[in-house]
Amino acid sequence: MSQIVLDALVVVASVLLAASAIMALYRIVRGPSILDRMIATDVVLASIMCGLGGFMALSGRTDLLPVLVVLAMLGFVGSVSVSRYVSKSDSMTPGAEVGSLSDFSSSDWHMPKESADDGQSEAGTRRQEESEDGEEWPDDVARGISDVADGPDAITVQEGEEPVTVGLDQGTDPDAEEGGSR
């Protein structure tokens, strides 16, 4: 390759890297959310790393390699930290995503059968599911899987078995049964 072509490629790459860094800096200042700002910060770091890598390749220097490694670690750790922070704050917001805990009612699949039947009349009015050849499903099969997005209407228990409940999985508030308020 001739020196003129190589110099032209270096100039074009430098201009493109500078343009991407300037656009990312604009997004850091303007960005509507913290995720936009974090992505823009990653773009700025990537532009700096590409520029340093190109400079190292053209000049034959290897002493800047630890700087590249530190910048890469900084970008990765920063991105992971911000994404974990944002995901925790989003999950604490009621109704942050479809199917969050705040959207569950007493008829949801994770509640025992008696709690689901007490809370919603819809669960009691559904017909028992039938198989493709017309016969009814046995009682020990969880019902409602086909017409409920998050799972069955209720979890059925074999006759003679006691439903397993742990902690507040019974679907009722222990303080509410006593009628006492704090």
| Residues 10, 82 within the same domain | yes
Contact 113, 163 (CB under 8 A): yes
123 falls in which pLDDT band (50, 70, 90)? Answer: very low
103 falls in which pLDDT band (50, 70, 90)? Answer: very low
Sign of the CA dihedral with 139 first, then 144, 145, and 150 last: negative
| Residues 111, 81 within the same domain | no
Q: How many domains, in total, are found in the chain? A: 2
Q: Is 98 a member of any domain? A: no
| Residues 142, 83 within the same domain | no
Report the alpha-carbon distance of residue 140 to residue 143 in Å, rounded.
9
What residue numbers bound the domain in which 157 lies?
Answer: 104-127+135-169
**Which one is predicted more confidently, 49 or 106?**
49
Q: Is 86 a member of any domain? A: yes
Q: Is 71 a member of any domain? A: yes
| Residues 86, 10 within the same domain | yes
| Residues 145, 78 within the same domain | no
| Residues 38, 109 within the same domain | no
Long-range contacts of 26-30 (CB under 8 A, 24+ apart): none
Report the alpha-carbon distance of residue 116 to residue 107 in Å, rounded.
4
Q: What's the confidence (pLDDT) of residue 126?
A: 45
pTM of the model: 0.47
Cα-only R_g, the chain: 30
Percent of the chain predicted with pLDDT > 70:
50
Q: Is 177 a member of any domain? A: no
Q: Is 179 a member of any domain? A: no
Q: Is 175 a member of any domain? A: no
Please tell me the total number of residues recorded for the chain in this structure.
Answer: 182
